[in-house]
């Protein structure tokens, strides 16, 4: 039976439940194996700094007694019944305490492998880490994994806590063995522990008070070691970056809205908009404090307008002139994988980088890491909990900063649909990748969009018609073009099959080539729309990912039109004989037969050609175009904003 827990005298001056606003809390993360005593350590730390809410200690003593246990410090954190029963921590929580020097916020991250997702979320905001190991069991595979993730996330200030020294008779040799093992592993990661502290969380040894049982240890206690940490560098001193979260219109001026992640900005500053490279001059700044604001800084949310009529969209990044983020079509990233379905070459993902979402394909694995010994793993897939260096290819340029330069624009999430399946840090552009060459400077048209539209009598826009082969996309597009042209509209059709005979004749139908096909068509459609034309795109574009890519490229004036007809109806029409060939195995990955079509979740218009005839659906398409793009209908607002 374990000896009764002893209560060390508190060191902190007064109870603290949350940090004072006058001093920002120092963010730390505490990680470790599920059985190495991390929760006990945090519970004891809160008690010994007198940071527990009133009555919580008595509640803890009562709950522990009811379960036939000695005082169980981990119950302070494991508040859920399932956590107490299973002995694991499920959620990432934030806990505050204060020393005489400063306030701290503990980002408590679970250690159990199944909850690695929460550990990653927790560690991402920390400046330093406490890595908890067990003096009796030594360095586990999970300890190595967490250490690797800390290095991956850029958390290099690490204090190692060698817990449960009481089970080893407080022997210096036991501490030294663990110290040597964990230090050797961290060295392979290019890290060196700041301190390796022997302690017993249950009994309070070397947490806030020096242990009488381990007089041989001359280093700092855990609390002293935390107070010795240097504060993180201020984000306001870094290069300016503001990812655009939304675009508003105030009168005739567009406002870029977002959170300033790093740096400062002032009225009159010259900036560039990534990835397009548009130059702009700051005309106004609004952080909600009233008119006439002269500047804003990191941490503030702001609405910024420009003297120029810049084309703005969510996901772009505002940067100082001459200090743009890097641009590339293919990135090298170090990724950690959380999904139960393994990651393979050719897997399609969404890369979420700041406010931007990029449709990407896994082009290759450069290295899959065996976390146990840091050697290359002999496998061609990345399983759950795995870490790898991979190349992700996008159809459109990605604006980024290497993680080592600016973590906020170099740290990303990986998603399938709406589900997060992993995370990554950007190492840089892939070698030999078709990166965006510089210097590239956008050239303004001699005739602006408003002038084109005024001359035409209608706004420019893109009607993106997607649906199965044989649904009637081309028929509707050509019919609407003829009618609108006869009425004096400037209108053209971009048909998928026609484009594959010319512009896209070098592309096949692999995931990466489908992405490039959509990217090229969307870029052409965008140019035409910016010149005041109505563009009818007829393209199967079978996945939501592809259609979102098109929307992100075109921006304002994009209309998703679902030309709806079921497979049987389309197969009966079979104008090109494709369904019969696909069912005979002559065409691989044919949408509707051997490859899926993802129905649009919320299209701007649905044209059900299985239910209604061509004349009716053509009229519906034309009515939608007139309602949204005719100047006498749409005057006074920007379509798509």
For 160-175, what is each residue's pLDDT tens digit? 999 999 999 999 999 9
Mean pLDDT of 150-155: 78
Confidence at residue 430, expressed as pLDDT on a 0 to 100 scale: 85
* Least confident stretch, 157-171, 212-226, 233-247, 481-495: 233-247
Kindly state the average pLDDT of the residues 485-498. Answer: 93
Residue pair 429/326 in contact (Cβ under 8 Å)? The answer is: yes
Give me the mean pLDDT over the 627-633 stretch: 83
pLDDT class of 196 with cuts at 50, 70, 90 = very high
pLDDT band at 538; cut points 50, 70, 90: very high
Which pLDDT score is estimated for 241?
Answer: 95
Question: Which residue spans within 66-215 are E strands per DSSP?
Answer: 93-98, 103-108, 128-134, 157-163, 195-198
Tell me whether strands 242-243 and 419-429 are parallel, antiparallel or unpaired.
unpaired
In whole angstroms, what is the distance from residue 117 CA to residue 387 CA? 13
**590 φ/ψ sector (left φ>0, alpha ψ -120 to 50, else beta):** beta
Number of C-beta neighbours around residue 590 at 10 A: 18
User: Given 541, 552, 594, 602, which residue is catalytic?
Assistant: 541
Of 171, 135, 516, residue with least CA distance to 360: 516
Q: What's the token pair of residue 153?
A: 């996330």
The helix/strand/coil state of 363 is: strand
pLDDT at 201 over 90: no
pLDDT surpassing 70 at residue 118: no
Least confident of 137-151, 181-195, 600-614: 137-151
**HEC-encoded secondary structure of 510-576:** CHHHHHHHHHHHHHHHHHHHHCCCEEEEECCCCCHHHHHHHHHHHCCCEEEEEEECCHHHHHHHCCC
Percent of the chain topping pLDDT 70: 80
Are the CB atoms for 140 and 168 separated by under 8 Å?
no
The mean pLDDT value for 398-408 works out to 86
CA distance 34 to 41: 12
Q: Could you read off the pLDDT of 291-350 as tens digits, one per residue? A: 678 989 887 889 999 998 888 888 999 999 989 898 888 899 988 888 889 998 888 899
**Residue among 415, 361, 367, 413 nearest 390 (CA):** 367
Q: So what's the pLDDT on residue 55? A: 57
Q: Tell me the average pLDDT across 512-538.
A: 89
Strand ordering across the sheet containing 93-98: 93-98, 103-108, 26-32, 128-134, 157-163, 195-198
Copy the structure tokens of residue 566.
């079921």
Q: What share of the chain in percent tops pLDDT 90? A: 32
Count the neighbouring beta carbons within 10 Å of the beta carbon of residue 210: 15
Q: Which residues pair with 458 in a beta bridge?
A: 630
Cα distance between residue 472 and residue 570, in whole Å: 9
Confidence of residue 4 (pLDDT cuts 50, 70, 90): very low
pLDDT at 572 over 60: yes
Question: Are 361 and 512 spatial neighbours (Cβ–Cβ below 8 Å)?
Answer: yes
Q: What residue spans in the chain does CATH classification 2.40.30.10 cover?
A: 239-320, 327-429
Q: What is the pLDDT of residue 110?
A: 56
- The number of residues making up the chain comes to 641
Instruction: For 393, list phi and psi in degrees, rounded to 5.
Output: -110, 135
How would residue 435 be classed by pLDDT, with cut points 50, 70 and 90? very low
Write out 558-569 in H/E/C secondary structure.
Answer: EEEEEEECCHHH
3-state DSSP percent of the chain in helix, strand and coil, to 5: 30, 30, 45
Question: CA–CA separation, 201 vs 8, rounded Å?
Answer: 11
Residue 582's CB is within 10 A of a number of other CB atoms, namely: 21
- In the chain, CATH 3.40.50.300 sits at 26-227, 449-634
pLDDT value at 1 more than 70: no
Q: How far from 527 is each of 236, 276, 347, 590, CA to CA, in Å?
A: 37, 13, 30, 30
- Which secondary structure element, helix H or strand E, spans residue 425, and what is its range? strand 419-429
| Lowest-pLDDT range of 70-74, 135-139, 236-240, 492-496 | 70-74
pLDDT at 432: 52
pLDDT at 69: 57
C-alpha dist (Å) from residue 576 to 325, 542, 558, 572, 591: 46, 18, 29, 11, 14
Categorize the per-residue pLDDT at 525 as very low, low, confident or very high, splitting at 50, 70 and 90.
very high
User: For position 292, what pLDDT does the model report?
Assistant: 73
Residue 248 β-bridge partners:
255
**Calpha distance 5→635 (Å, rounded):** 75
**Tokens linked to 19:** 């940090």
CB 93 within 8 A of CB 108: yes
- The listed CATH number (3.40.50.300, 3.40.50.720, 3.10.310.70, 3.30.70.1560) that belongs to domain 449-634: 3.40.50.300
Q: CATH fold of 239-320, please?
A: Elongation Factor Tu (Ef-tu); domain 3 (2.40.30)
Kindly tell me the burial class for residue 636, based on how many C-beta atoms sit within 10 Å of its own C-beta (0-12, 13-18, 19 or more). Answer: exposed
239 in Cβ contact with 322 (< 8 Å): no
Whether residue 397 is predicted with pLDDT greater than 90 in this model: the reply is no
pLDDT, residue 296, reads 92
Region 565-579 average pLDDT: 83
In angstroms, the CA 556 to CA 559 distance is 9
Model confidence band, residue 21 (pLDDT cutoffs 50, 70, 90): very low
Say if residue 490's pLDDT is above 90.
yes
Rounded-to-integer distance, Cα 112 and Cα 82, Å: 14
Question: pLDDT at position 6, please?
Answer: 35
Whether residue 220 has pLDDT greater than 80: yes
Q: In what order do the strands lie in the sheet with 491-495?
A: 491-495, 534-538, 461-466, 558-564, 605-608
pLDDT of 72: 53
| Residue 183 among the catalytic residues | no
What tokens does 310 get? 């810049």
What is the model's pLDDT at position 631? 85
pLDDT for res 80: 37
Average pLDDT on 260-264 reads 91
- Confidence band, pLDDT 50/70/90 cuts, at residue 621: very high
- What average pLDDT does range 465-489 have in this prediction? 93
Structurally, what CATH architecture does the domain formed by 327-429 represent?
Beta Barrel (2.40)
Q: Which helix (H) or strand (E) holds 626?
A: helix 614-629
**Mean pLDDT, the chain, integer:** 80
H helix or E strand, kind and range, residue 394: strand 387-400
Phi, psi for 66 (deg, rounded to 5): -60, -30
Architecture of domain 26-227: 3-Layer(aba) Sandwich (3.40)
Question: Does position 60 have pLDDT exceeding 80, yes or no?
Answer: no
| 528 has pLDDT over 90 | yes
Q: Which residues of 444-470 are buried (b: 16+ CB within 10 A; e: fewer)?
A: eeeeebeebbeebebbbbbbbbbbbbb
SS3 state at 34: coil
pLDDT at 372: 65
Average pLDDT over residues 411-421: 85
Q: Give the model confidence (pLDDT) of 27-55 as tens digits.
A: 888 888 777 877 788 878 887 787 665 65
Of 103-112, 115-124, 295-304, the range with the lowest mean pLDDT is 115-124
Give the C-alpha separation, 500 to 289, whole Å: 53
């Amino acid at each position: 039976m374990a000896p009764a827990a002893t209560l060390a005298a508190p060191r902190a001056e007064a109870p603290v439940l949350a940090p004072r606003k006058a001093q920002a809390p120092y963010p730390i993360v505490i990680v470790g194996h599920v059985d190495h005593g991390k929760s006990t350590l945090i519970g004891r730390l809160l008690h010994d700094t007198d940071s527990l809410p009133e009555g919580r200690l008595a509640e803890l003593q009562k709950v522990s007694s009811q379960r036939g246990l000695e005082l169980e410090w981990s119950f302070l954190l494991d508040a859920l019944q399932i956590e107490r029963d299973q002995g694991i921590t499920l959620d990432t929580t934030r806990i505050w305490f204060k020393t005489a020097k400063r306030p701290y916020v503990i980002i408590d991250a679970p250690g159990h492998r199944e909850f690695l997702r929460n550990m990653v979320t927790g560690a991402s905001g920390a400046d330093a880490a406490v890595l908890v190991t067990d003096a009796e069991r030594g360095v586990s595979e999970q300890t190595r994994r967490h250490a690797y993730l800390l290095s991956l996330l850029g958390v290099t200030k690490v204090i190692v806590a060698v817990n449960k020294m009481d089970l080893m008779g407080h022997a210096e040799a036991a501490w030294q063995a663990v110290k040597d093992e964990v230090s050797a592993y961290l060295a392979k990661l290019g890290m060196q522990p700041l301190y390796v502290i022997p302690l017993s969380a249950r009994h309070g040894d070397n947490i806030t008070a020096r242990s009488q049982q381990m007089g041989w240890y001359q280093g700092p206690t855990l609390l002293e070691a935390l107070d010795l940490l240097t504060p993180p560098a201020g984000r306001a001193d870094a290069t300016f970056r503001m990812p655009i979260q939304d675009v508003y219109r105030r009168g005739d001026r567009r406002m870029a809205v977002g959170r300033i992640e790093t740096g400062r900005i002032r009225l009159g500053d010259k900036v560039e908009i990534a990835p397009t490279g548009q130059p702009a001059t700051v005309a106004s700044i609004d952080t909600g404090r009233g008119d006439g604001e002269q500047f804003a800084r990191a941490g503030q949310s702001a609405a910024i307008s420009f003297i120029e009529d810049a084309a703005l969209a969510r996901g772009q990044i505002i940067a100082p002139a001459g200090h743009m983020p890097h641009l590339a079509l293919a990135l090298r990233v170090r990724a950690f994988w959380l999904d139960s379905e393994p990651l393979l070459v050719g897997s399609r993902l969404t890369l979420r980088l700041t406010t931007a979402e990029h449709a990407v394909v896994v082009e290759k694995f450069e290295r899959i890491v065996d976390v146990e010994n840091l050697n290359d793993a002999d496998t061609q897939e990345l399983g759950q909990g795995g870490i790898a260096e991979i190349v992700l290819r996008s159809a459109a340029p990605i604006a980024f900063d290497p993680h080592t330069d600016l973590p906020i624009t170099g740290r990303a999430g990986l998603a399938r649909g709406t589900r997060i399946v992993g995370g990554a840090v950007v190492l840089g552009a892939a070698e030999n990748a078709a990166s965006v060459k510089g210097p590239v400077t956008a050239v303004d048209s001699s005739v602006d969009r408003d002038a084109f539209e005024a001359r035409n009598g209608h706004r420019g826009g893109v009607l993106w018609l997607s649906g199965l082969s044989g649904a009637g996309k081309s028929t509707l597009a050509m019919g609407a073009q003829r009618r609108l042209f006869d009425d004096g509209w400037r209108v053209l059709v971009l048909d998928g099959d026609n484009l594959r005979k010319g512009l896209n004749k070098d592309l096949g139908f692999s995931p990466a080539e489908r992405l490039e096909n959509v990217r090229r068509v969307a870029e052409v459609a965008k140019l035409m729309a910016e010149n005041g034309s109505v563009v009818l795109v007829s393209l199967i574009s079978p996945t939501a990912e592809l259609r979102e890519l098109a929307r992100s490229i075109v921006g304002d004036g994009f209309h998703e039109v679902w030309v709806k007809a079921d497979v049987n109806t389309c197969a009966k029409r079979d104008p090109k004989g494709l369904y019969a060939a696909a069912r005979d195995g002559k065409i691989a990955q044919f949408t509707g037969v051997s490859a899926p079509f993802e129905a649009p979740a919320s299209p701007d218009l649905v044209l059900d050609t299985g239910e209604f005839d061509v004349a009716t659906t053509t009229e519906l398409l034309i009515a939608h175009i007139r309602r949204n793009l005719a100047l006498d209908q749409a005057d006074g607002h920007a379509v798509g904003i």
